[in-house]
């Protein structure tokens, strides 16, 4: 692997608080780059989203897509506004189009609690929540997006699709991630979430999972039905390590997972394919709080750290890995030691208070 130190980053702030949390993440990225050294991000801000649709009639302009194709990674805020819709009534969601365009099959959704930070649950034995849910992001029930049919106003059908090719890549990705996490002290275990007791598609999914699991004897594996997973995410979330599931199940469970650790403002995410990746907070544009300075930027800041981790591992760039760790540590200090809390978790700190605390913690590291 040849070492890279200069990266082109396509930045798509989007709409609503997407713009505000991206501004926050860029300040933190700059501070981390200065402190860690050894690499350079060339950030290019690009138009896309509901605002762009209103102004120019296109939600994802061709020039933006081309720049994204040529970039090393894509950092995205949030897109769509309830008041702006396509003629058929659906919302503007170029972030979904990017997943399909770049074949970003692995939706990586980490959930973690911080000491003294928000948490919906407390483990009587003092455990921390720290698991990663991987949501397949290009097929499953979402394969039917835009293709559902209504027959004679009598019935409607959407079809769920599981392919061997995507499933093999998805499971290999999940086991590789569990292996990386094991090296950092996590259990090294992958749980498949399915409904194999009812559906042929999920029995097939499970069969492929077991085949791939056999190639990773150092990593544990098991299966859990999706209904039992919902129960256990509330009953014993501190016991999970890596979970992998179909698109629709992952859509639902990742919001539940975010709810366990303080809500959408604390939920970073990455959509990763074989060659490209989009990093974005799991939340939407939150029109109710846009422009008020109340947006919690932690999810976006942690998504930026995930981008540095991914770039560092892919291109063998230790500076990126150092910067990612600086950001993660600084966020932990901001929440656990400085007690910074935004309005979504009952505090009164602003977006810029969080940024200042994180940037200071990086400078003091």
- 23 or 123: whose CB is closer to ligand ATP? 23
Q: How far is the CB of 348 from ligand ATP (least distance, A)?
A: 13
- 41 or 289: whose CB is closer to ligand ATP? 289
Q: How far is the CB of 326 from ligand ATP (least distance, A)?
A: 22
List residues binding ligand ATP (CB under 6 A).
Answer: 17, 80, 264-265, 283-286, 288-289, 295-296, 299, 344
Q: How far is the CB of 266 from ligand ATP (least distance, A)?
A: 8
Separation in Å, CA 125 to CA 116, 190, 236, 238, 256: 16, 23, 11, 10, 22
Q: How far is the CB of 202 from ligand ATP (least distance, A)?
A: 25
- 109 or 283: whose CB is closer to ligand ATP? 283
Q: How far is the CB of 292 from ligand ATP (least distance, A)?
A: 10
Q: How far is the CB of 336 from ligand ATP (least distance, A)?
A: 19
Q: How far is the CB of 264 from ligand ATP (least distance, A)?
A: 4
- E-strand stretches of 96-179: 106-112, 130-136, 149-151, 155-157
- 188 or 265: whose CB is closer to ligand ATP? 265
Query: By beta-carbon distance, which residue lies closest to ligand ATP?
Result: 284
Overall size of the chain counted in residues = 365
- 212 or 341: whose CB is closer to ligand ATP? 341
- 73 or 298: whose CB is closer to ligand ATP? 298
- 237 or 268: whose CB is closer to ligand ATP? 268
């Amino acid at each position: 692997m040849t070492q890279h130190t200069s990266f082109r980053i396509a930045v798509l702030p989007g709409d609503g608080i997407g713009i505000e949390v991206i501004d926050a993440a860029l300040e933190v990225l700059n501070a981390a780059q200065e402190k860690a050294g050894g690499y350079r991000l060339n950030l290019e801000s690009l138009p896309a989203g509901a605002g762009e649709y209103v102004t120019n009639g296109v939600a994802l302009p061709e020039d933006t897509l081309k720049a994204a194709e040529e970039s090393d990674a894509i950092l995205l805020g949030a897109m769509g506004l309830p008041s702006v819709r396509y003629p058929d009534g659906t919302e503007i969601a170029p972030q979904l189009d990017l997943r399909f365009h770049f074949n970003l099959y692995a939706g990586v959704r980490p959930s973690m609690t911080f000491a003294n930070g928000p948490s919906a649950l407390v483990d009587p034995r003092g455990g921390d929540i720290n698991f990663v849910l991987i949501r397949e992001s290009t097929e499953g029930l979402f394969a039917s997006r835009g293709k559902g049919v209504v027959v004679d106003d009598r019935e409607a059908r959407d079809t769920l699709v599981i392919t061997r090719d995507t499933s093999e890549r998805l499971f290999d990705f999940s086991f590789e991630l569990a292996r990386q996490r094991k090296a950092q002290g996590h259990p090294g275990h992958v749980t498949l979430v399915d409904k194999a007791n009812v559906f042929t598609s999920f029995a097939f999914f499970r069969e492929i999972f077991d085949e791939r699991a056999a190639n990773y004897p150092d990593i544990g594996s098991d299966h859990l039905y999706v209904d039992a997973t919902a129960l256990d995410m509330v009953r014993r979330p501190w016991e999970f390590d890596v979970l992998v599931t179909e698109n629709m199940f992952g859509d639902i469970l990742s919001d539940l997972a975010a709810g366990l650790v303080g809500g959408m403002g604390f939920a970073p995410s990455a959509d990763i394919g074989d060659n490209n990746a989009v990093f974005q907070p799991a939340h939407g544009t939150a029109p109710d709080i846009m422009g008020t300075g109340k947006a919690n930027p932690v999810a976006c800041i942690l998504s930026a750290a995930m981008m540095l981790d991914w770039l560092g591992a892919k291109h063998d760039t230790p500076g990126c890995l150092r910067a990612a760790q600086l950001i993660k540590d600084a966020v932990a200090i901001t929440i656990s030691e400085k007690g910074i809390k935004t309005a979504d978790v009952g505090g009164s700190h602003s977006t810029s208070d969080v940024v200042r605390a994180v940037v200071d913690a990086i400078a003091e590291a």
